[in-house]
Structure 1
Amino acid sequence: MLTNTTTDQKPTRMQIMPTLLSRSAAYVWTGILVVGFFVLDIFLPLGVAAGVPYAVAVMTSMRTARIRFIAGVTVLTCALTILGFLLSPDGGEPWKVAANRTLAIFVILGAGVFAVYAISVRRRATRQAIMFEQVRRRRIQDANIQLMRSAEARSSFLGQISHELRTPLTSLTTFAHILDGKSETLSRERIQAHSEVIGRSARRLEVLINDLFDASGSETDSFKLNLSTVDLPQIVSDTANEYAHHVRTLDQELEIDIDIPDESKYRAIADSVRMSQVITNLLSNASKYSWPGSTIHAFCGLENDKFIVKVTDQGAGISREDISKVFTPFFRVDAAEVRAVPGAGLGLTIVKSIVELHDGQVYIESEPDRGTTVSFTIPAVLSS
Structure 2
Amino acid sequence: MQELPVEEMEVEVVIDGETAGARLDAVLAKAHDLLSRSRIKDLILEGAVTIGGKTVDEPNYRVKAGETIVLVAPPPEDSAPKPEAIPLDVLYEDQYLIVVDKPAGMVVHPAPGSPGGTLVNALLHHCGDSLPGINGVKRPGIVHRLDKDTSGVMVVAKTERAMRKLAAQFADHGRTGPLHRAYIAYAWGFTQTATGTVDAPLGRDQHNRLKQAVRRDGREAITHYAVEARFGEEGWDVTRLRCELETGRTHQIRVHMTHIGHPLVADPVYAPGFATKINRLPQEAQEAIRALGRQALHAAELGFEHPATGEEMMFESPLPADLQALDDALAPYDRSLPGRG
TM-score by length of 2: 0.19
Structure with bigger strand share is 2
Structure with bigger helix share is 1
Name which one, 1 or 2, has greater alpha-carbon Rg.
1
Q: Structure with the greater relative contact order (CA < 8 A, sep ≥ 6): 1 or 2?
A: 2
